[in-house]
Amino acid sequence: MAFPSLPETLASALAERGYAEPTPVQSAVLAEETTGRDLLVSAQTGSGKTVAYGLALASELLGDAPRLPRAGQPLALVVAPTRELALQVRAELTWLYARAGGVVAAAVGGMDPIAERRVLQRGAHLVVGTPGRMRDHIERGNLDATALKAVVLDEADEMLDLGFREELEAILDAAPAERRTLMFSATVPKPIATLAKQYQRDAMRIEVGSESRQHVDIEYRASLVAPHEVERAVVNILRLEDPRLAMVFCATRAAVNRLHANLTERGFPTVALSGELSQSERTRALQSLRDGRARICVATDVAARGIDLPDLGLVLHAELPRDSETLLHRSGRTGRAGRKGVSWLVVPHNRRRIAERLFAGAKLRVSTVPAPNAEAVRARDAERLLVQAKALLAEEREDGDAALAAQLVAEASPDALASAFVKLLRAPLPAPEELADAPERQAPPPRERREDTGGGNWFRMDVGRDDGADPKWLLPFLCRRGHVTREAIGRIRILGRETQFEVDPRVVPRFATAIRRPVGGQDGQVRIEKMR
C-alpha cells in the first residue's frame, strides 16, 4: 500500500528519504476516517510514529496549500518526555516539512532558554519540547498558544510516569479548546485514559498490533546466572557478541555508574547515560558513540529515551526491566530500519519467575541459552582473529615495511612470528571472565531427604526472637544473602538473640562465599557465620 494522497512537498520529502510504503501506524493515522479527529494511539518505539503524526498534522498545517505561510505564532506543539527524544523529533519534522517552508523550533530543558525565546519571537510553525520548558515559555509569554491548531503528546505514558501531569495539563489548558489533540502512548493505563477523556473530544482509539507480534528483526535470548555473577556474564556476552554498538540497561543511576566504571576498567570503550549528567555531558557521550570512540552505552531506562543509534546491534539487560512494556521499549533500541539485533537478558536464578512473567506479558519467544564462559569467548576470538589476520596479510605492503619484515624473518621462526602476530592482535581485547556452572546443575536434593539424614552444615546469624526474627522473612533473606534456593536451607532454630540454620553440604562453599561479600542496606547489617 502506498502513502495516501499527500501534498507534493511532503511526498517528495518522503521519497528523498527512501519511504516507499507506510508503516502500520502511519497507515492507521492517515486513514480517511481519522481526518480532523482527535486520536489516542498505542504504538511502540521504532514503529515510525514521529513521521506518522508529522503527516497527520499536514491537514492542520498546510490545508490545501503546497507551502506553509510565513512563520509566526506556532500552529502545532509536540511534547516529548526527554531532551533526546524532543531533539530527535525536531530533526524528523524539520526534514519532513523543509520543502514546505516549515520552521520547527525547540523548547527543551537543559538548553539555553534565552536563545529559545529569540527563536520563538522570530516565529515558528511547530514547536517541539519537553513539558517543563514548554510550560515555562507559555507562562512567561515567550510561546503564544492562541493560534494552535494541534497538540501532540508523544510517549504520554512515560511523561505521566515521570510526574509531568501538571505540566501537560497547563499546556493543554493554554491551547484553544477547538484544537486537535493527538496522544501517542505505548500502553493506555488508567491515568492516560483519564487524561484523554479530559482533554480530547470523541477521540478515535487506534491500536497498532506490534505488541502482539514479536519483532522479526530482534532475537531474544536469556541466560540464567548466579546473582553474584551477573557482571561477569555481562562482560562475556559483550566479548562474545563484539557488537559495533551495544546498550546495557541498569535499573538505577548507582548501578549505571558502578557498571560503567567496571567495564571501563576492564578495557571496554564505554560511556554512561543517567539522569545526573548535564546536557553537554550527554551530548558528548552520544557523539562518542556515533563517531566510534565508544562502543558501549550503559544507561537507565529514562536516560535512554529518544536515543536513536542506527548501528546498535545488541541490547543487554544487566538488570531486569520493571515491566513488559519497558522490556519492549529497551529492546526496540535495536532491530531498526531492517537491521537485525539481539536483546539479551541476564537473569539471576532467583528472579527466573519474574523474567518468565515479563516474557509472557510481552508475548515474546525467548531462547534460554547458557551465559558464555571464558572458553566460548576465546573460541569466538580465534575465529575473528583469524579473519582479521588474513585481511592484514592480504593488504599490499608499503615500501618501508619490506626491510623490517625481512629482518624479522631472518631472526625468528615462522611459528614465533605468527604467535607474536596473534598476541599483538589479542592484546587490546578485555579478558573474559570465568563463570561457575549454571545454577540448575547445582540444585540440592529435596529438603525432606536431607533432614532425614541429618547431613547439613549449621550456620548462625545475629538476629533472634528478641529482634523480631520470623520464618516468613528469614528464609527469603537467607536465600538472597547466600545466593541459594529455598531447598538448600534445612532446619531453622530461632533463639533469643540468634538464629541457627542448616545448609545443604552441596552448596555450602557457594553459600559461605556469598555471605562474605559486602552488601548494602539492612541486609549488610546482619552477620552470618558458620558454627564450629
Neighbours of 269 (CB within 10 A): 14
Whether 321 and 366 map to the same domain: the answer is: yes
Distances (CA, A) of 65 to 36, 52, 56, 105, 181: 16, 20, 15, 22, 22
Residue 320 pLDDT more than 90? yes
Residue 401 included in any domain: no
More reliable by pLDDT, 187 or 298: 298
Identify any residues that bridge with 107 across adjacent strands, giving them in sequence order: 129
Q: What is the domain count for the chain?
A: 3
Task: For CA atoms 88, 131, 146, 114, give the dihedral sign.
Answer: negative
Return the SS3 of 120.
Answer: helix
Q: pLDDT for 428-449, tens place per residue?
A: 788 888 886 554 434 444 444 3
Say yes or no: 288 and 358 in one domain.
yes
Sheet holding 245-249, edge to edge: 270-273, 296-299, 245-249, 312-317, 341-348, 218-225, 367-368
Place of cell 631472518: 410
* Contact of 290 with 309, CB cutoff 8 Å: yes
Does the residue 418 lie in any domain?
no
- Check whether residue 274 and residue 190 sit in a common domain: no
- Which residue, of 374, 394, 424, is where some domain finishes? 374
Residue 206 lies in a domain: yes
Q: Answer whether residue 384 is part of any domain.
A: no
Question: Which of 270, 244, 268 is closest to 340 using CA atoms?
Answer: 244
Contact (Cβ atoms closer than 8 angstroms) between residue 531 and residue 459: yes
Q: State pLDDT tens for residues 78-137.
A: 999 888 788 889 999 999 999 999 999 999 988 899 999 999 999 999 999 999 999 999
Same domain? For 354 and 501 the reply is: no
The pLDDT of residue 129 is 95
Q: What is the pLDDT of residues 55-85, one digit of tens each?
A: 999 989 988 888 999 999 999 999 998 887 8
In a domain, 313, yes or no: yes
Contact criterion met (CB below 8 Å) for 120 and 143 = yes
Q: Within this chain, do residues 256 and 171 fall inside the same structural domain, yes or no?
A: no
Please tell me the predicted confidence (pLDDT) of residue 335.
83
- In-domain check, residue 298: yes
Range of the domain at 453: 443-530
Pair 60, 202 in one domain: yes
Over residues 456-466, the mean pLDDT reads 87
Residue 376 makes CB contacts below 8 A (sequence gap 6+) with 236, 240
Alpha-carbon distance of 529 to 532, in angstroms, equals 9
Query: To which residue does cell 522490556 refer?
Result: 327
Mean pLDDT of the chain: 85
My answer on whether 173 and 242 are in the same domain is no
State the pLDDT at residue 215: 65
- The verdict on 263 and 313 lying in the same domain is yes
Signed CA dihedral, 163, 164, 165, 167: sign only: positive
Query: Does some domain include residue 359?
Result: yes
Select from 175, 12, 13, 8 the least CA-distant residue to 93: 13
- What residues have CB less than 8 Å from 23, skipping those under 6 apart? 47, 48, 52
Cα gap 459→501, rounded to integer Å: 5
Residues 132 and 201 in one domain: yes
* Domain stops at, among 352, 374, 396: 374
In a domain, 3, yes or no: no
Tell me: do 203 and 258 sit in the same domain. no
422 or 240: which carries more pLDDT confidence? 240
- Give this prediction's pTM: 0.57
Mark whether 31 and 166 lie in a shared domain. Answer: yes
Span of 32-41, 127-136, 520-529 with lowest mean pLDDT: 520-529
**Residues 191 and 165: beta-carbon distance below 8 Å:** yes
Backbone φ and ψ for 406, nearest 5 degrees, come out as: -60, -40
Q: Which of 62-71, 119-128, 305-314, 336-345 has the lowest mean pLDDT?
A: 305-314
Shared domain for 244 and 163, answered yes or no, is: no
User: Taking residues 196-200, what's their average pLDDT?
Assistant: 92
The C-alpha atoms of residue 37 and residue 60 are separated, in whole angstroms, by: 11
- In this structure, what CATH number is given to the domain that contains residue 181? 3.40.50.300
Among residues 181, 212, 243, the one where a domain terminates is 212
E strand or H helix at 466: none
| CA distance linking residue 323 with residue 422, whole number of Å | 45
CATH of the domain at 514: 3.30.70
